[in-house]
Structure 1
Amino acid sequence: MRLVRVEHGGAPRWGQVEGDTIHLTRGMGGEPTGETVPLEETKLLAPAEPSKIVCVGRNYLDHIRELGNLLPDNALPTEPGIFLKGPNTLAEPGGTVPYPGWSQNFHFEGELALVIGQRARTLKPDGALSAVLGYTCGLDLTARDLQKTDLQWFRAKAADRFCPLGPWIETDLDPTDLRVRTRVNGETRQDGRTSHMIFDVVQILTYVTRFVTLEPGDVVLTGTPEGVGPLERGDTVEVEVEGVGTLVTHIGGEGRDVSGSAPVHTGG
């Protein structure tokens, strides 16, 4: 099932996608109201209403290598590296993210994202996936220069609109071996599989919920494959997750936000 969050009647609404039609629902994953709207005529919003966005850094070995962050003797991390983004970072599919004028090295990082469906605390491995409502595409935008100079990653990772998400939530998906690709202006820059993650989805969820309670609507970004790199003003970024579809984000000039209706990509 595909769940979407849309702008309808001047307010955010949730719905289920069936073919070219959205059946509006009572909240995220709720019962249909009987109202329908055409998918192609609807502005899609980021498909989550999080209290927090939990992110895993350096979860693919080749990405660790490309950033020069290998541990001594090429050892793998023994625990996931976690950081947070706030709800302010969300951006809608098909929208425009202004290039930050205070960064000289603005990077893309395409990822598989989880949307939490029920309150989760101290999850056990055999029940961890039951807390996940579904999966979507995430773009972890990063001011790489500030990530290297700042004490914390607040400016580098958590500025406004630094987390485009979408186009929808796919609820019927096995996250263990999905292809994750990122294209910039049509050229493939990242091409990895979730089976190559150092910490898989279950391990991430059991680790995070030891310390933090995840609430319905919260988002978990699972890390990015190798191939990250800089963006320029005017670039178009596409993050495609197998079985979900494609998230499109446009990079605008500094201080500009010309978000429009989201193009619909139905690939799986």
Structure 2
Amino acid sequence: MSEEILARLQQIQGHALKIQAALQSQPQPGEGRASDPRGCVAVVVDPDGLPSRIDVWTGWQRHVAAEELGSLVVRLYGEVAAQAMQAWSESFDLDAWRSRAEAARADGQEDAGLPPLAQAPAFGSPRDLLTLTEEALKALKATRDQAAAPPVTATGWDGERAVSITLTPGGLQGCTINPRWALRHGASAINAALREALREARAAIEEHAARRRAQAQGLDDLAREALATLARFQAVHNSPEEG
């Protein structure tokens, strides 16, 4: 592999990092809140798009049938999530992002004097080629299996299994509240059950997200080590002592 190709790989990585920085400089989604007009239920959505709090207010029985309480939660979540997304999209400065992205692209095209890849601190350390190949194959298989897996869902329950919350990484998918149980208990008991179910579901989703971040970091490290290994081979190949 020529030094020009290795330098180009370094350019690509630097360009990608600048594009990522441009995106991260934009305002991030904020917290959203909504309640139904009758004042029976309120839902709070965090910046990640997941419900962070669900409250049922005292006197809800006068306005909502117990059988409809769970579906009302889901409907309110949909409204607040849509409002939060619209507010974020309106705050996103597309022209500024394009300007920074174009500047990053221009920098990458003009930077012809990059240091040799093996000297670039952004890349990892060289590895044994056989070990590196085995890890790369494992990572590719894990990525393929993950793509074929069904969407991740997590359902949390309260201790009495009267209330459930179902989440995906994208948001709330379902809420069930046993109507007979709800009619026998006050709003405070329902809210406690909702908090417990939501906490359990969020913990499962956050655990999944942590695994995904660890996998992504592993792939990034593997790519860095692969490029460093290629650079080492290039340096050996060009060494005057070779042969």
TM-score when normalising by structure 1 = 0.20
Larger Rg belongs to = 2
1 or 2, which has the higher strand percentage?
Answer: 1
**Taking structure 2 as the reference length, what is the TM-score of the superposition?**
0.22
